């Protein structure tokens, strides 16, 4: 799942959020959640290897409050990981078709980028239930993983194929499933947009 980074500009989107003119009530800013589905095998293996990062407990669905700092932090983390991790397939890296892991040696594929971004934000105090590992089909209809961030201004995607943070519905991807906000070890299917949830601030 290693592809070249695409250059997608989101200057107008950033302006909307930083000036507070985006509308949280706009349903298209949200992905509709469907039924419970099986987690990716890579996630199950990752949790076996990193049990402290996959503690199963009930959580409450909530959003991070979008502020200029939050927006800047998302862009900084996305760019940092995209710039510092070098892409490599699991086959070349580990000699296996699929392995999810932190890119501790500076190399990884799409899931590893996602896991590193998630870890950096959690370590910075962001609520885990606002940072959801998400499986999609990309523009070439190939399997891909991104990090969905739920905010009071909608849902945004951090992606190693896109240089900037973008709204979930502007990636051109077909969404398959992601972590549940109410149980991060449970996965749910993704459908059409829905209304926003309650809001929360980072710790």
Residue 186 lies in a domain: yes
Q: Do residues 185 and 39 make contact, with C-beta atoms less than 8 angstroms apart? A: yes
Total count of domains within the chain: 1
What pLDDT shows up at residue 201?
Answer: 46
Q: Is the pLDDT of residue 61 over 50?
A: yes
CB atoms within 10 A of CB 11: 8
Residue 11 lies in a domain: no
H helix intervals, the chain: 11-19, 41-49, 68-84, 90-94, 110-123
Residue 129 lies in a domain: yes
In angstroms, the CA 170 to CA 193 distance is 13
Residue 23 lies in a domain: no
Residue 192 lies in a domain: yes
* Mean pLDDT (whole number) for 42-59: 89
State the CATH number of the domain containing residue 130.
3.10.620.30
Domain boundaries, position 87: 36-200
Residue 98 lies in a domain: yes
pTM: 0.84
In angstroms, the CA 81 to CA 149 distance is 16
Residue 157 lies in a domain: yes
The alpha carbon dihedral of 123, 124, 130, 134 has a sign of negative
Residue 26 lies in a domain: no
What pLDDT shows up at residue 60?
Answer: 81
pLDDT digits (tens, 9 = 90+) for 136-147: 999 999 999 999
């Amino acid at each position: 799942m290693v592809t070249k980074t695409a250059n997608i500009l989101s200057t107008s989107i950033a302006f909307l959020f930083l000036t507070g003119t985006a509308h949280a009530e706009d349903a298209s800013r949200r992905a509709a959640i469907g039924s419970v589905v099986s987690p990716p095998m890579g996630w199950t293996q990752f949790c076996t290897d990193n049990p402290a990062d996959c503690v199963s407990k009930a959580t409450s669905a909530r959003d991070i409050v979008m502020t200029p700092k939050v927006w800047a932090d998302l862009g900084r983390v996305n760019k940092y990981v995209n710039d510092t991790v070098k892409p490599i397939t699991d086959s070349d890296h580990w000699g296996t078709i699929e392995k999810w892991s932190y890119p501790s040696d500076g190399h990884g594929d799409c899931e590893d980028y996602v896991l590193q971004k998630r870890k950096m934000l959690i370590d910075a105090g962001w609520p885990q239930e606002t940072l959801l590992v998400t499986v999609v089909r990309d523009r070439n209809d190939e399997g891909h993983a991104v990090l969905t961030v739920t905010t009071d201004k909608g849902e945004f995607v951090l992606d190693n194929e896109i240089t900037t943070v973008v709204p979930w519905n502007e990636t051109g991807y077909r969404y398959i499933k992601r972590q549940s906000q109410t149980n991060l070890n449970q996965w749910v299917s993704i459908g059409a947009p829905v209304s926003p949830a309650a809001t929360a601030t980072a710790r």
